[in-house]
Amino acid sequence: MDEEHALKHLIKLTQDGKLCALEKELGVNSKIARTVNKKHFGRSGDTLLHYAARHGHLAVLKFLIKDIGLDIELYNNDYKRGLHEAASMGHEECVRFLIKEGAKVDCLKKADWTPLMMACTHQNLGIIQELLSRGANPTLKNKDGWNSFHIACREGDPIVIQHLLLVSPEVWRTESKILRTPLHTAAMHGCEEVVGILLQRCGYDPDTRDSCGVTPFMDAVRNGHISVAKLLLKEHKSSPMATDILGAQSVHQVAVTAQEEALVFLVKDLGVDVNQTATDMQLTALHYAAKEGHTSTVKTLLTLGADLHVRDKKGRTALHMACIGQHADTVRTLLQLGLADTEDISGTMAKEHAKKIEVLNVFECK
């Protein structure tokens, strides 16, 4: 067996956790044994240490470090160490062993992710507790400004959230580089129980805004998480009328994401004006839905009282927006619902926006 095939064979043995066979192969071939000390494999640049940690083979991991002498801080092309792999994949015994042998508990991989951050992506409380007990810092931030608490709030395990707050009571006082808080993150992903904990135990200001002016309430409704939105209204006194930096309210954002149940909730339950205009362009929710080509949402808005004939600052109706977006089905629907009779449909502004043959054909058929 040549050296290349021998090395590939070692990878397979390591991944499968076959310690005896691995000991035999490395024992009879001292040259290969010396090679694997710093050998990186494939595009990822993984070492045998990475494979062993990723697959949770503790005995193999011990053999590679103690007997073969692999450096515990070996990193691959993404700067991942064995501790990142073990923490990410939920191998608690491997995590414990690596730290005991001197692995840096807050080592950084690409984009400045720590092993604790990796553990928080998989809601593994045991590993999180182990890392924290060994000095892992939950307030460290990655390149996007997220700390471990942000990540845990995205995943939505209330037990993990409570433990992080117990160990580091001020960990919630954090914002990403675009000013998003853990509350934004939990609301966006519909983690209702976590949102409840954050509202009860943390001091977030009502309607705190990120760099785009988006509030947690906006995040909840535009992603269809109505129960979370109701919780924010009840416990946090959030405003359904708050605006982002473009002047858009929740009703406009929900039209963009085509969350029709949320539209009904905003208009019927909360009394939001369906024809409320956003930004200095004076766009309505109907304009936004038409531009995105959300035909079903357009119909829902009309049942809620949206005005077909409202024009923006440039004189454009929802039909013009549908033409701009080249959405033939939405154009057809709007024409059928009555916009064919508006003064400029027969040959001017709307047709000028309809560039594709398919969209123009809709007008010809009318």
pLDDT for 342 equals 47
pLDDT in tens, 300-315: 999 999 999 999 999 9
Closest by Cα among 232, 250, 181, 247 to 209? 181
DSSP for 122-163 reads TT-HHHHHHHHHTT--TT---TTS--HHHHHHHHT-HHHHHH
Q: What is the predicted pLDDT for the residue at 136?
A: 98
Could you say which residues of the chain have pLDDT below 70? 1-2, 28-29, 338-366
Of the candidates 51, 75, 102, which is a domain's last residue? 102
Domain boundary (76, 102, 128) is at 102
**334/342 Cα distance (integer angstroms):** 11
Cβ atoms within 10 Å, residue 128: 27
Confidence at residue 2, expressed as pLDDT on a 0 to 100 scale: 67
Classify residue 255: in a domain, yes or no.
yes
Q: And the tokens for 188?
A: 């966006």
Q: Which domain does 148 fall in, by range?
A: 138-239
CA distance 145 to 65: 34
Residue 354, pLDDT score:
53
pLDDT at 343: 45
**Three-point CA angle 157, 234, 265, nearest 5°:** 95
Domain count, the chain: 3
CATH number at residue 216: 1.25.40.20
pLDDT at 359: 56
